[in-house]
Amino acid sequence: MSESSGNGGKWLDAHYDPVAGLFTFSPCVDLADLSGDGESRLVVGDLGSGSTGMKLKVFRGTALLSESTLLDLPAGLVAFFMDLHEPRIPAVAVASGPCVYVYKNLRPYFKFTLPGLEVNSLEQDVWQQAREGQIDPLTLKEMLESIRKKADVPLSMRSLRFLSLETDDMDDFVQLHKQQPIRRQTVITCIGTLKKSTADDDGVSCLVIGTESSDVYVLDPEAFVILSKMSLPAAPTMMDVTGQFDVEFRITVACRDGNIYVLRRELDKPKYCIKLSSHPVGLVRVGKNVMVGCTDESLQGFTQKGKKLWRTVLAAPITTMAAMDLPTRGFQAVLVGLANCEVQLYRDKNLLSTIKTPDVVTSICFGRYGREDGTLIMTTKGGGLMVKILKRTAVFDDRDGAPGPPLAQSVRLNVPKKTKLYVDQTLRERENGLAMHRAFQMDLSRMRLTAAKAYVKALESSLAPVSSSISEPLKMNAVVQGLGPSFKLTLNVQNTAACRPATNLAISFLYDEGLYRMRNPYMRIPLLVPGLVYPVETSVECTSDKGISDIIKVFVLHEGRSCPLLTAHINMPVSEGEMLN
Amino acid sequence: MGLFDKLAGWLGLKKEVNVLCLGLDNSGKTTIINKLKPCNAQAQDIVPTIGFSIEKFKTSSLSFTVFDMSGQGRYRNLWEHYYKEGQAIIFVIDSADKLRMVVAKEELDTLLNHPDIKHRRIPILFFANKMDVRDALSSVKVSQLLCLENIKDKPWHICATDALKGEGLPEGVDWLQDQIKTIRT
Ligand SMILES: Nc1nc2c(ncn2[C@@H]2O[C@H](COP(=O)(O)OP(=O)(O)OP(=O)(O)O)[C@@H](O)[C@H]2O)c(=O)[nH]1
Ligand SMILES: [Mg+2]
């Protein structure tokens, strides 16, 4: 089990050939079952050295199966079903220059050339004069120069080439070309496919091509006529197509003006525009959202209507991007190749895993290769080919701080089952709610009445430790200290009147003389200044050693009155000490 | 062979053995098992197995019940449910599928590390199948790529086979029969 290669334990290294001699980029790589035997092949438009050695290569497993020379640099390559013939074998379309070359069974089948563009009429006139020998090459050059400066319609390739020539070569060039009509041709910048009328995997697809002249064409798969033409504000560089031509479709195009435009059916102008802060280098649609990689080393997510969802910063510049779509597992994510020899997997803005590669990856393609659905194919800057297979047991979890409910929230609590008693009670409560409420209110009122009665009685007989009589408003609390048998009893007496002092007061105690002995059971209290607390101390001795306690009643009396002003009951603690005598 | 076995042999009663037939999809498991059956019981068309199927065939002294498991990715998690019952394993490899040799190795490693297999001396027979295909790997190369030399605690054997012609199959089945007999007696 080779987990040393930095796959995060999720990929099996199926194949790596560092000198496969494959120089390409993601739009020129596709996977398709080209022989109808259930085994997918890898189709690559190889750029060669950039000027020579352009090839269409097909791989099966680890081996190169076939290669054929391409006439021009490929700008994009797609496999698509162009007819309903059985067995269902897709054709391969290679876009290069102004043409789309269609291969069937890996043999050239059809060549589609983009319609020529409008030619400047002044330019045409000038060349006409040159042909008739009315003007010499130098005059021709001057006139073309002036047309180039002010014309709305740009000059043709031929005129531009002519203008770049040295004076000596001009004559020959005019002689060589003057007989041919002037043509202005655009080139294809990107290519995609769009299902014609069904969403089936093997449904017939139209080709969608973007051109340097800022147009997008949809081609009929069988007749290769233009079904639809749409215009963009700038030249497209990358595109994603979804939907069906006959029903509803959406073409998301990244353009050279740094914007992303969304084209819809029955509109020849973009419906939405996403303005980016820097140029897009990768465009992948995941479900209904578009993920864009930008030159400022960022990955951004947008809704299909162009609302920005998130932006995340990457560790290095992006070299390429591709979708990772595993329908059998319901998994969709984006693979991002970085210049620091890493390929990162993102689901939305969350990094799921990182693959370390021995070289910078220039193209990524994920899909079914051979018989394996989860195959990742990468080519590197040095021309290497790398194949990794997703482990059957691999799981990707985003352990990130994405906002949302915490995990604990979805953990179910272990709520005990409702018992029969509980259910019965609930039923009873539901049925007799009114009566129960009434009974409760009645009892509450009764209790309040009883409490009020007791309070009034206490007040009337001055049983409370607070006297509210107007002449002598007093408050008293008692503190017992000690463990026994001797206790210290402190009575804090306070005159609560506003300014009238209280005089002629005395304190007396009532207690069980068989239990307690008190030094002075009757005490006179000095004049009480309002507000101050007067501690009156005395000591009590417990005479019993049986561990029992009793209440001592304290009365505050006024001389000449038989009724106490207030009463306090002191709950004596149990004596814990030994009798000394 | 004990007296009972001999007796059973004379009476046409044979020892029953449960064998698991594992390997990636398209490796040729069903084709191999089909070829091991008597001529008149062989199926003509072989289609990819869905889930698994139970097949029976006999050798001179044993009666095999084979669990022909599907090798497709989505069914491979079924394999482990039969590990307990299996008394021997036939592991089939498509020697022509170099790309997926790592996948075969991964599944083999998972098998060998499974608690129901790990500590049993269960015999494993490897069929390096499709040896007739041009540039198929040799059985030596296959056993290298699968690191079979690391299997120390189980008897194993690898043979190159061509299931379409039936070549190499008898050799493997003989080995398996001997192994089962030595374990049992
Ligand atoms: N050339 C060649 N083809 C073989 C050989 N063995 C099997 N095949 C072919 O390989 C294909 C798959 O064989 P199956 O027996 O269905 O494979 P399997 O392992 O049972 O596949 P699943 O049931 O999907 O797991 C069939 O088309 C067979 O004809 C062989 O030895 N040589
Ligand atoms: Mg089968």
| Of B41 and A206, the one with more pLDDT | A206
Is B115 a pocket residue for ligand 1 (Cβ < 6 Å)?
Answer: no
Task: Decide if A441 is inside a domain.
Answer: no
- Indicate which residue's Cα is closest to atom 8 of ligand 1: B28
Note the pLDDT of residue A4: 43
Sign for the CA dihedral angle at A551, A552, A555, A556 comes to negative
d(CA A79, CA A91): 6
Taking the mean position of all CA atoms in its chain, how far away is CA A450?
65
A368/B contact by beta carbon, under 8 A: no
- Indicate which residue's Cα is closest to atom 23 of ligand 1: B49
Cα B29 to ligand 1 centroid, rounded to whole Å: 6
The answer to whether residues A282 and A314 belong to one domain is yes
Q: Are B92 and B30 in contact (CB under 8 A)?
A: no
Q: What angle do CA B162, B164, B168 make, to 5 degrees?
A: 30
DSSP code string of A360-384: -EEEEEEEEEBTEEEEEEEEETTS-
The answer to whether residues A216 and A262 belong to one domain is yes
The answer to whether residues A135 and A202 belong to one domain is no
Task: Decide if A433 is inside a domain.
Answer: no
**Percent of chain A at pLDDT above 70?**
94
The answer to whether residues A143 and A238 belong to one domain is no
Please report which residue ranges of A313-397 form alpha helices under DSSP H. Answer: none
Cα A30 to ligand 2 centroid, rounded to whole Å: 29
Task: Decide if B162 is inside a domain.
Answer: yes
CATH code of the domain containing B150: 3.40.50.300
Do the Cβ atoms of B99 and A372 come within 8 Å? Answer: yes
Question: A311-319: long-range contacts (C-beta < 8 A, 24 or more apart)?
Answer: A311/A349, A312/A346, A312/A349, A314/A338, A314/A344, A315/A340, A315/A342, A316/A340, A316/A342, A317/A281, A318/A281, A318/A282, A318/A293, A318/A294, A319/A360, A319/A361, A319/A362, A319/A381
Which residues of B are annotated binding-site positions for GTP? 23-30, 71, 129-132
Note the pLDDT of residue A579: 55
| Residue showing tokens 């969403």 | A199
Q: How far apart are the CA of A193 and the nearest CA of chain B, in angstroms?
A: 29
Residues of B in contact with A328 (CB under 8 A): 73-74
> Is a pLDDT exceeding 80 seen at residue A23?
yes
Across A132-136, A377-381, A426-430, A577-581, least confident range:
A577-581
Task: Decide if B179 is inside a domain.
Answer: yes
Note the pLDDT of residue B11: 58
Please report which residue ranges of A185-305 form alpha helices under DSSP H. Answer: none
Is B129 a pocket residue for ligand 1 (Cβ < 6 Å)?
Answer: yes
The answer to whether residues A201 and A160 belong to one domain is no
The answer to whether residues A237 and A199 belong to one domain is yes
> Is a pLDDT exceeding 90 seen at residue A537?
no
Rank A336-350, A415-429, A563-577 by mean pLDDT and report only the highest. A336-350
Q: Are A245 and A195 in contact (CB under 8 A)?
A: yes
Q: Enumerate the β-bridge partners of residue A481.
A: A488
Cα B136 to ligand 2 centroid, rounded to whole Å: 20
Of A14, A63, A328, the CB nearest to B100: A14
Q: Are A265 and A249 in contact (CB under 8 A)?
A: yes
Do the Cβ atoms of A393 and B99 come within 8 Å? Answer: no
For chain A, give the mean pLDDT: 88
Task: Decide if A44 is inside a domain.
Answer: yes
Q: What does DSSP assign to residue A184? A: B
Beta carbons within 10 angstroms of residue A352's beta carbon: 21
CATH code of the domain containing A540: 2.60.40.1510
Task: Decide if B95 is inside a domain.
Answer: yes
The answer to whether residues A74 and A131 belong to one domain is no
Cα B24 to ligand 2 centroid, rounded to whole Å: 9
Q: Are A563 and A471 in contact (CB under 8 A)?
A: no
Q: How many domains does chain A contain in total? A: 3
A387/B contact by beta carbon, under 8 A: yes
Enclosing domain of residue A128: 121-177
The answer to whether residues A271 and A336 belong to one domain is yes
Task: Decide if A550 is inside a domain.
Answer: yes
**Mean pLDDT along residues A262-287:** 90
Note the pLDDT of residue A549: 83
Note if the bond before A87 is cis, omega within 30 degrees: yes
The answer to whether residues A282 and A351 belong to one domain is yes
The answer to whether residues A486 and A542 belong to one domain is yes
Q: How confident is the model at residue A323 (pLDDT cuts 50, 70, 90)?
A: very high
Which residues of B are annotated binding-site positions for Mg(2+)? 30, 49
Q: How confident is the model at residue A1 (pLDDT cuts 50, 70, 90)?
A: very low
d(CA A190, CA A254): 10
Enclosing domain of residue B171: 15-184
d(CA A186, CA A116): 7
CATH code of the domain containing A363: 2.130.10.10
Strand (E) positions, A432-574?
466-467, 474-481, 486-495, 505-510, 516-518, 522-525, 533-542, 551-558, 566-571
Domain boundary (A157, A177, A197) is at A177
The answer to whether residues A240 and A363 belong to one domain is yes
Task: Decide if B116 is inside a domain.
Answer: yes
Task: Decide if B171 is inside a domain.
Answer: yes
Residue range A331-377, pLDDT digits in tens? 999 999 999 999 999 998 889 889 999 999 999 999 999 999 999 99
Of A369, A370, A373, the CB nearest to B73: A373
Q: Are A22 and A385 in contact (CB under 8 A)?
A: yes
d(CA A491, CA A533): 10
**Mean pLDDT along residues A138-144:** 87
Q: How many domains does chain B contain in total? A: 1
> Is a pLDDT exceeding 50 seen at residue A86?
yes
Length of chain A (residues): 581
Segments in chain B below pLDDT 50:
1
Across A24-28, A311-315, A483-487, least confident range:
A483-487
CA distances from A294 to A153, A222, A277, A312, B184 (A): 32, 37, 8, 11, 68
Q: How confident is the model at residue A485 (pLDDT cuts 50, 70, 90)?
A: confident
Give residues whose Cβ lies within 5 Å of ion ligand 2. Answer: B 29-30, 49
User: Is B72 tagged catalytic?
Assistant: yes
Task: Decide if B9 is inside a domain.
Answer: no
**Mean pLDDT along residues A189-200:** 92
Nearest to A396 by CA among A348, A440, A430, A445: A348
Task: Decide if B2 is inside a domain.
Answer: no
Domain boundary (A340, A355, A390) is at A390
Task: Decide if A151 is inside a domain.
Answer: yes
CA distances from A450 to A302, A446, A453, A457, B111 (A): 73, 6, 5, 11, 82
Task: Decide if B84 is inside a domain.
Answer: yes
The answer to whether residues A329 and A474 belong to one domain is no
Nearest to A160 by CA among A182, A135, A176, A132: A182
Note the pLDDT of residue A305: 86
Identity of residue A216? V
Note the pLDDT of residue A468: 65
- Residues of chain B whose beta carbon is less than 8 angstroms from a beta carbon of chain A are 24-26, 73-74, 76-77, 97-103, 106-107, 109-110, 135
Task: Decide if A403 is inside a domain.
Answer: no
- Interface confidence (ipTM) of the complex: 0.90
Dihedral in degrees, nearest 10, Cα atoms B159, B164, B167, B173: 60
Domain boundary (A390, A414, A439) is at A390
> Is a pLDDT exceeding 50 seen at residue A244?
yes
